[in-house]
Structure 1
Amino acid sequence: MTLTRALQGTAEEFDALRLATALTLEVRSRAETEQPEGSLPEVVAIQRLISLSRGGASIRVIWARDVSEHVAAAPALYPLQAVLLLLDGVEHVIEEADGTRRNAMFGPARRKIYGYLPSTDLFADRQALLCADTRGQGRPSSLYSSETGQLLSRADFDSLISEILSAQTAVNVSSTRAFIFRQTVSTIVAELFENAELHGRAAMDGTPIKKSGIRGIIFHRIQSHAPAQARSAASVGSAADVLEISVFDAGLGFYGSYSGQPLQEEVPLEDEWEVVHQCMLRHFEDDVSGVGPSHRGMGLYEVLRGLKVLGGRIEVRTGRVYGYRTFMQGEPKLLLEAQASRSRPGMPKPRLLDKTRQFVTVPTVHEQLVGAAIRVLIPLD
């Protein structure tokens, strides 16, 4: 089975894979390194991949030699394949054109991932900054201080993100607007990755994750078509440049981090959905508390506010739920405070809409995945 087919199937097909005792995944074409049109977001495919690794099945990956060399030359530019290389307990095999096979030696490629420094132009399309906690590489120099091993200070993080974005602002944008854009995006990314740092490294008992503990940030410049009702006749078919930023971890997910309890099948879906919203209320209402001194969702409402300012979109995939909010041009702006509100006029209410049903706040059940993945889309024009 190809890697794409395994990770892009229906929820029922994916759940069937998790029942297997052994899986063979094939990466035989460079098309496997591209994001299929109309598919699940890459970060959700990564969540599925890590979830398979955490299961009981043994995993074997067969790479066509030319594809393996293509990925190994710059693995951080292929986030899904880079995560595949960092999974624990996976057997990698290279297949030659004549069908002969040999064990893959991906050590040098992994070292490139650990030492990758982000590009400032994004003309490479995608790039990933990855933390491989269970491989002893959980603090890459791109995200952590080489002196203290601690996560970059907010000022240093702002500098990193601002540098990445410096070439992304349109030339006709004022310096003030460009500054606000970079600062807001920096705040969004920092808030999300600080959550992954706090909640994406430990198991329920507080000990480090023992298998495939991977966290990361993915930057991807894409083109997005506005909804038809938002376009004039002259602009039909045109697309806008959008910055897609995804932050993921392989931790307990929102429910486990907030409640201190594992997410079992018997937990009502509505309870899990409500926990996500309790997390969003963390910086919206001062009296919302959770388990521990700092818990899942700190700053998530700040992210929502920032995206409202930027006209962006957020998608949250954790456990069995998949929610979103959008403030993008041409898309319905729902769940906003009244303009007459004394405290938050026009600001978003701390609620998500269901990703499947779009305009309702009642959740749809999805296959259960480990950790959490948050994807934001930000227009660049």
Structure 2
Amino acid sequence: MNLDTQKILKTLNPNKIWLPVAISVGFVAFLVISDDSFTPQKINLVFQADLFPIVLAFVVLAIKELAYIYRIRTLTNEDLSWSSSVYVILLWEFASAVTPSVVGGTAVAVFILLKEGINLGKSIAYTMLTAILDNLFFVVFAPIALLLIDPNHFPDFEGTLKGLFISSYSLIAIYTFVMIFALFFRPRLFKWVLIKITSIKFLRKWRYAAYQHGNEVMWASSLIKDKKKRYWGKIILATIAAWVARYTILNCLIAAYANDLVLTDHLLLLGKHLILWVVMLISPTPGGSGLAENFFIEFFTVYLNEFTLGVTLFWRLVTYYPYLIIGALILPRWIKKVFFIAKKKDAYVKS
């Protein structure tokens, strides 16, 4: 894996927060300008929310982050301290927010873990395992969400959107099951297949990368085998808790404006949000900016009506912008910690 420090720090550059914010706000501004019936009161309506669901949304947001922090610390066999686990999760979220989901942030995640004192092999293994757990949540729960949704209540799920969802879901499922097979059953066979495929003439330029990735998978496989059931149970439950909390935030926000929601409405909201998230995974824009706002409006206008534009921005303000801001604030401190303070400590020990 190429862990070019300069490239990774360029990815983590705080200046990158402005592009996704510009796309996100710009998209909503475009809708405002093109809407002849728009008045400033439509944005001001966002302040007419019920307070309790809004407070609950922030509580659920905290639960989500705590679940992620607990998972990464448990995943690393508590080699990470609690403070290091917080840094890892917040910087990982920041990296995801400033890069397109389709690009992925594997190298960045490995780099962050490496700088927090986890050796390269374990960093790669933990990053791969995290990706598998998160993707497996989508693979398992997306079909359940579709089964729960009455097609008559989800007329938007047709045409282009349905095609995007099927494409995204298929890619996630294929990748997840291939990586499960490679990591847990036949890592050597996986490496052999990669090398054979890249032996084809027009694919030879990727042969070294395939060889390297095959070695990484074998390395990771050797590090995560023989883990106890308790270990797997804790990280799987933490994964489910984190993702359910992530989706529930939206339920809380919509409940603040739509007071007559019943259980079936909440299930429908969860299902729509999960489908929205799967589609966002193939977005070419940082953090799904623009695409997320577009489909949010398309999916949830039926519940929000005149509140829609204001709540669209509020939703991103709660679930997306904080990671841009927090990441930009803590990144300089983290860089100082792992590059300068750590070097001073090493120099002191050697002397």
Same fold (TM over 0.5): no
TM range (shorter): under 0.3
Bigger relative contact order, structure 1 or 2, given CA contacts below 8 A and separation 6+? 2
TM normalised by structure 1 equals: 0.22
Greater share of helix residues, 1 or 2? 2
Greater share of strand residues, 1 or 2? 1
TM normalised by structure 2 equals: 0.24
**Structure exhibiting the larger radius of gyration computed from Cα positions:** 2
